[in-house]
Structure 1
């Protein structure tokens, strides 16, 4: 089997890792990457070997460009839709672009899939665990109520439900995946683990929002790619119209993450500092993995410590990649009292 796959947002964090995964494991597949190359996308993520591969093609463009998206979807068998604005703090400062990209962009992709329904065998929409809000019960399964707590989460919830409606209305071959907190190579410094890692490598303070007790489920990005691979190649009867969490079932609070990074690097916990909590903070996320294990046959994943060691090693040897982002580790937002704050 030789698939032609459109990866939207493929020059971002998970998209980049997924493209590498596909091209290494399936060298005959044709991969089209569509990315607007905003601050979070980087064409330099791809090696010259990838760029020069005749089965790889990069298109710079916006998922809100419906005509462009339609033209690209006509060329492929599968669509994996990552393209989105994804940073919680940025959504608090400027939420309009989040709804434009995350909701209207998703509508462009879903409508293009609809117009090519007969040839598209799989449409994977990459949602987020943020649509759930704080856990009402643990672990959080795919039936957990949706209670988004930030503009970003609300935009992604809208896109999530939009794709679901296209499946219900048009019976499109959709699968929705909801990744929990991801980490690994190529992640922007605005996210907590690369922000902590870069600060530690520079000997700077690791700043924690609130008291550090907020817990997250952590999944190493290599494991994420393996699970997306399973979704992509699963039997249609098993996954069509389904939703799958992409999580590890392992949770650790933010303070524990900071301490672990410092311990791996042999640095003092005195580098940890605190700042007032971010508005809309989710207190606890932990994924149920039962459905993914039962349907996709997901196996136990990389231990958090091992994945973190690999991540730190990557950032330590790719300083030129992330040093240009140092000014973007903090984002200005509007607080509840109308004042501007940095997070």
Structure 2
């Protein structure tokens, strides 16, 4: 299969490229990435001889058309994703997430190419703490932030292009990912690299906010399964049923790094901080026979800590600027 991977130099996309090279060496992979601060050639260095890497903007219609025309399928990861950045400056999120997805949709429509659109559980808003309810494919959209609202808009565009134009597309909404190559602005790698650089870890508010965690390799194996066997027009929710509050995750990181589990600072909470995310992945389990392999969160967390400990050359150049940005926000 000739596969075009948008945003393939970012966190989840790069891991998808690595697993594709490893598990599907028969595929021909083209990565399109704008190489913003969140994209890194270094993330693809180990597989650079196995792929074609094109630096370009997903909103460039001419480039998108050219690359899509050469492909059998597109996996669309490209997006601006960090909620704090969206709160500070939402315009790049509108351009990348909405106009970028529109551009991809028009290209796959023109050339009859299969599309899988990668999205987030944050489009559903949040759930009450202590409630047993979980997000399903029929949960109404209720986004809380500029980030999640632009991802909700992109999902709606995909659905409309499927219905109006017959585009062969599927959507997945996934819970919080963790693993290698995640930018140090994100919660888990920020705390790990704070410890590794002698800084005190930082926790928003009281840390009672709950997230549903999944290892990035499990997310990507689900995307592959949907791409192969998913029903056109369907939305699949991807999750590993690993709900944990942020305080528990912080203490687990500190314990696994041989630090006092209370050795961190509470900082100002994020504006409009969603309370709880929880995914019901039963349709993916039942219909496509998928299940996560990383079923012990702390084992996955330990391996992630080891990766950051062993790869400071990858994240080190990003760290000081990231922490300066947080310090400017009082976080």
What TM-score do you get using the length of structure 2 for normalisation?
0.95
Alignment of 1:149 with 2:135, yes or no, is no
Q: What is the alpha-carbon distance in structure 2 between the residues aligned to residue 161 and residue 270 of structure 1? A: 43
Q: Which moved more, 1:39-48 or 1:323-332?
A: 323-332
Cα contact 2:43–2:181 (8 A) shared by 1: yes
1:28 is aligned, of 26, 29, 44, to 26
For residue 211 of structure 1, what is the aligned residue in structure 2? 206
What TM-score do you get using the length of structure 1 for normalisation?
0.92
Q: What stretches of structure 1 of length at least 5 have no aligned partner?
A: 334-339
1:301 deviates by 3.4
SS in 2 for 1:310: helix
**Runs ≥4 residues deviating over 4 A:** 330-333
Q: Which moved more, 1:75-84 or 1:292-301?
A: 292-301
SS in 1 for 2:126: coil
Q: What is the alpha-carbon distance in structure 1 between the residues aligned to residue 302 and residue 6 of structure 2? A: 29
1:332 deviates by 5.2
For residue 52 of structure 1, what is the aligned residue in structure 2? 49
For residue 318 of structure 1, what is the aligned residue in structure 2? 311
Alignment of 1:228 with 2:223, yes or no, is yes
1:43 is aligned, of 6, 26, 41, to 41
Q: What is the alpha-carbon distance in structure 2 between the residues aligned to residue 94 and residue 300 of structure 1? A: 35
Mapping 1:237-256, distance limit 5 Å: 238-256=230-248
1:274 is aligned, of 262, 266, 278, to 266
SS in 1 for 2:182: coil
For residue 261 of structure 1, what is the aligned residue in structure 2? 253
Q: Deviations over 1:64-104 (max 9, x none)?
A: 00110000000000000011110000001110111011000
1:330 deviates by 4.2
For residue 159 of structure 1, what is the aligned residue in structure 2? 154
Q: Which moved more, 1:271-280 or 1:132-141?
A: 132-141
Q: What is the alpha-carbon distance in structure 1 between the residues aligned to residue 40 and residue 226 of structure 2? A: 26
Cα contact 1:190–1:328 (8 A) shared by 2: no
- Number of aligned residue pairs: give it: 326
SS in 2 for 1:208: strand
2:71 is aligned, of 73, 76, 79, to 76
Q: Which moved more, 1:214-223 or 1:239-248?
A: 239-248
1:135 deviates by 1.9
Q: What is the alpha-carbon distance in structure 1 between the residues aligned to residue 330 and residue 100 of structure 2? A: 28
Q: What is the alpha-carbon distance in structure 2 between the residues aligned to residue 218 and residue 107 of structure 1? A: 29
Alignment of 1:177 with 2:175, yes or no, is no
